[in-house]
Amino acid sequence: MSMRDHATRAGGSQDEQQIDLTPMLDVVFIMLIFFIVTSSFVKEPGVEIFKPQASTTEACERGTIIFAVDERGDIHYNKNKLPLDKALRTAEAAKKEAPQANIVVQVDRETPAYAVEELIDIVRPILTAPPCISTDDEA
């Protein structure tokens, strides 16, 4: 056996010993696509709210449609100020994206009560559960 034949055999066996990562990458990309497709994204209201404290609280189930009412009574949704008359259409569109979602209203400590009542009255036709009012836990 010549040196050339020996070198060819050694080089060939070295290629056979490398691990093929293609199937693993396929699985990783399939898992990534699965998690992206099945995840739900929460649209934040986009305004800084200082929530009031509450001594008794209950967890809000499936609360992912979040409206915020600031100290001036302005309504915010998805980082935009929203007129009261468009709140129902916005809530309906959000409900179509996530039919099981519940409405959460974040209020500031200084928010006028009438503004929250008006918002809840406007979105009442699409409510499947009582709306949740977001508060801070008592320290």
What single-letter DSSP state applies at residue 138? P
- For domain 53-137, the CATH class is alpha beta
10-29 pLDDT tens trace: 555 555 688 888 999 999 99
Q: How confident is the model over 46-64, as pLDDT tens digits?
A: 677 767 776 666 777 776 7
Q: What is the pLDDT of residue 34?
A: 92
Q: How confident is the model at residue 108 (pLDDT cuts 50, 70, 90)?
A: confident
Angstrom distance (rounded) from CA 5 to CA 7:
5
| Main-chain phi, psi angles of 4, to 5 degrees | -65, -45
